[in-house]
Amino acid sequence: MNRNRTDRAKLRSHFGGPVSPEHAIGLGASAIVLLLAFFGRLAWSDAVLGVLAVIAITLVATRLVVRPAAENEDANDKPGIAPPVAHFADTLTQPCLVINDRAVLIYHNPAAAQQFPRARAGDPLAFTLRDPDLVEAIDRALLTGAAQHVEVHLTVPNDTWYRAAVVPYRTEGDDGEDYVTITLFDFTEQKRTDRMRADFVANASHELRTPLTSLMGFIDTLQGSAAKDEAARARFLGIMRNQAERMSGLIDDLLSLSRIELRQHVKPTTEVNLNLLLREVAEGLEPRLEDAGIKLSLDIPDEPITVIGDRQELFEVLENLADNAIKYGGDGGRIDIGLTPGASRTGAHHAIAVTDYGPGIAQEHVPRLTERFYRVDAESSRKKKGTGLGLAIVKHIVSRHHGEMTIRSTVGEGTRVEILLPR
């Protein structure tokens, strides 16, 4: 395609610009044939045939001359750099940019064009990549002639991290010029994973440290001033038990989350009866519901509804959702749990919905509820022995089952969490 465009450009330059030698010969021969016909030395029919023959010969000669020139131009259509460098850059799946010794962009491969659509040859590199560490690496590469490696962090339009290989080279010849190739390797996903891991460790450490500090404080008190105070000892032991239970719950959730992540890509294979599972969860909640004065409404169809899944994990999903409804929506005095067969438009899913009629959640918090350790009200959640991991566990289990989860909440009206499981 590029060669054809070059050929057409070459032909236009020949016909529209100065006359080339092959064209001059063709025009001259045509003129002689027409003059012979005009003076009666040649029949007009023969003259027409002669002119056509001259035109054909001229076009063939033009083609023979233009083709090598076009091929030569095509081999050098990457301005300012050696063709092998440009052709090699085009084969890379990573963005690759070539700049001169003045940090002006000379060439960028298709991957770079896709990643940086505003990049233009002839513009300073700073128009495309603005990073002080990269500038220093380019200067060192030109000064020392050695390859440099640097981490590049771009914040526009989104946070993106690259590992940049900055390699200098010089074109051949006494008047060779200096160039630098910059190849970018995207490791944004790895960076985000590392950050998530660090945040997770920090949050988990904080959640464990708080009850541990409380326990240590009460132990010191019981060993000291309250050693013989029976009333204080009984009260402190009750608080210590609550803190220990909180730590135990957090550790259980962490282990559960770790176990689920290890099996995230393993598809469940057993058949689970959702009717029986929901009844089992409801029966397990009866003591808590009675203590809290909450009424549970269970809506289950008569016909058995089954899915392919992990029974223990699905039990954990329902238990977590019901536990959240009791903790944070129990003020409404009522909880609804329903199972609807063929709930999606295509009828390809069964829906399980847990609805409470408590204070509800402000809309800005809803998208973040499944984040690890995210709490709308941290202090209230800790008092209710919440770990901040329940919905994160639910999200991972639903994802493993190729299902969907939606959370809808209205302040003052309550919260509804719906799980869609494939049939």
DSSP-derived secondary structure letter, 269: -
DSSP-derived secondary structure letter, 120: -
* Tokens 């022995």 found at: 385
Q: What percent of the chain has pLDDT over 90?
A: 13
CATH of domain 189-262: 1.10.287.130
CATH of domain 83-186: 3.30.450.20
Chain segment 143-175, per-residue pLDDT in tens: 998 999 999 888 877 788 899 999 998 877 667
Is the pLDDT at 240 greater than 70? The verdict is yes
- Per-residue model confidence (pLDDT) at position 8: 37
- Per-residue model confidence (pLDDT) at position 341: 84
Spell 48-61 as b/e; 16+ CB within 10 A means b: eebbeebeeebeeb
Spell 236-253 as b/e; 16+ CB within 10 A means b: beeebeebeebbeebeeb
Q: Hey, where are the domains in the chain?
A: 2-75, 83-186, 189-262, 267-423
Q: What 3-state class would DSSP assign to 333?
A: coil
For the chain, the average pLDDT equals 77
**Entry pTM:** 0.52
Q: What percent of the chain has pLDDT over 70?
A: 74
Burial class (CB in 10 A: 0-12, 13-18, 19+), 275: middle
Helix ranges (H only) for 229-273 are 230-262
- Beta-bridged to residue 148, according to DSSP, are 166
Longest dimension (CA), the chain: 142
- Per-residue model confidence (pLDDT) at position 274: 92
- Per-residue model confidence (pLDDT) at position 137: 92
The CATH H-level superfamily of 267-423 is Histidine kinase-like ATPase, C-terminal domain (3.30.565.10)
